[in-house]
């Protein structure tokens, strides 16, 4: 089950499997969640934070193999507690673009975990077939996220209006450039 487990300095990123999507759909704090995984959710991350379960569950039902791309829980390795999540909105599109979304529980923000989560996901996905461009969208008012993405070499390529998030800036980075900057 954990062939695609991703580790960062402080985090382990576990794929949310179809059975877990089903439990999350029924109850974001379902008592049977994560029982066999070796970690826990005392902060009730999915109950208390926005999450993509409603947008991703049908994709995983259709093809469970896509789960490793769509949603992972960020587990703090020191205590094996969920503190966040990340996932790509879909598989790479016809041009090889893949867009990430992520979140860290407010209790654990401003400690570097968000950056570890992003880089862990990106370091993994740039090794997957068909991925050519990394995309990150962010509100123009989210100064901290904009600074992280700009320092990472991503370039502003446009804007969009998201139905849920409103105005977003679109940043992209070519996978070859990412590998040069962070994996060589």
Q: Is residue 110 part of a domain?
A: no
Task: Please tell me the chain's helix, strand, coil percentages from 3-state DSSP, rounded to the nearest 5.
Answer: 35, 30, 40
Cβ partners under 8 Å of residue 13, min gap 6: 5, 6, 7, 72, 73, 74, 75, 86, 117, 120, 121, 124
Q: Is residue 82 part of a domain?
A: yes
| The predicted structure's pLDDT at residue 165 | 86
Q: Is residue 84 part of a domain?
A: yes
Q: Is residue 81 part of a domain?
A: yes
Q: Is the pLDDT of residue 79 over 60?
A: yes
Q: Is the pLDDT of residue 1 over 80?
A: no
| The predicted structure's pLDDT at residue 184 | 85
Average pLDDT over residues 93-112: 95
Q: Is residue 184 part of a domain?
A: no
Backbone torsions φ then ψ of 165, nearest 5 degrees: -95, -10
Q: Is residue 170 part of a domain?
A: no
Say how many domains are in the chain. Answer: 1
Average pLDDT over residues 46-71: 94
Cβ partners under 8 Å of residue 29, min gap 6: 41, 44, 46, 47
Q: Which domain holds residue 71?
A: 1-104
| The predicted structure's pLDDT at residue 50 | 84
| The predicted structure's pLDDT at residue 167 | 96
| The predicted structure's pLDDT at residue 7 | 97
pLDDT interval class at 4 (50, 70, 90)? confident
Q: Is the pLDDT of residue 164 over 70?
A: yes
Residue-averaged pLDDT of the chain: 94
| The predicted structure's pLDDT at residue 2 | 59
| The predicted structure's pLDDT at residue 3 | 62
Q: Is the pLDDT of residue 82 over 80?
A: yes
Q: pTM, whole model, 2 decimals?
A: 0.94
Average pLDDT over residues 116-131: 97
Alpha-carbon gap, residue 164 to 151, rounded angstroms: 26
Average pLDDT over residues 37-64: 93
């Amino acid at each position: 089950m954990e062939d695609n487990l991703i580790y960062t300095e402080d985090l382990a990123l576990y794929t949310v499997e179809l059975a877990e999507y089903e439990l999350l759909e029924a109850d974001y704090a379902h008592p049977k969640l994560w029982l066999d995984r070796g970690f826990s959710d005392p902060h009730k991350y999915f109950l208390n934070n926005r999450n993509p379960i409603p947008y991703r569950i049908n994709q995983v039902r259709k093809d469970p193999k896509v789960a490793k791309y769509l949603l992972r829980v960020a587990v703090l390795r020191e205590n094996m507690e969920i503190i966040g999540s990340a996932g790509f909105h879909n598989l790479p599109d016809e041009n090889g673009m893949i867009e990430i979304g992520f979140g860290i529980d407010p209790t654990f923000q401003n400690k570097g975990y968000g950056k570890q989560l992003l880089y862990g996901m990106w370091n993994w996905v740039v090794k997957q077939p068909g991925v050519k461009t990394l995309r990150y969208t962010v509100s123009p008012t989210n100064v901290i996220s904009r600074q992280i993405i700009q320092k990472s070499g991503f370039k502003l390529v446009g804007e969009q209006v998201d139905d849920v998030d409103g105005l977003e800036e679109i940043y992209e980075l070519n996978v070859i450039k990412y590998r040069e900057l962070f994996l060589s």
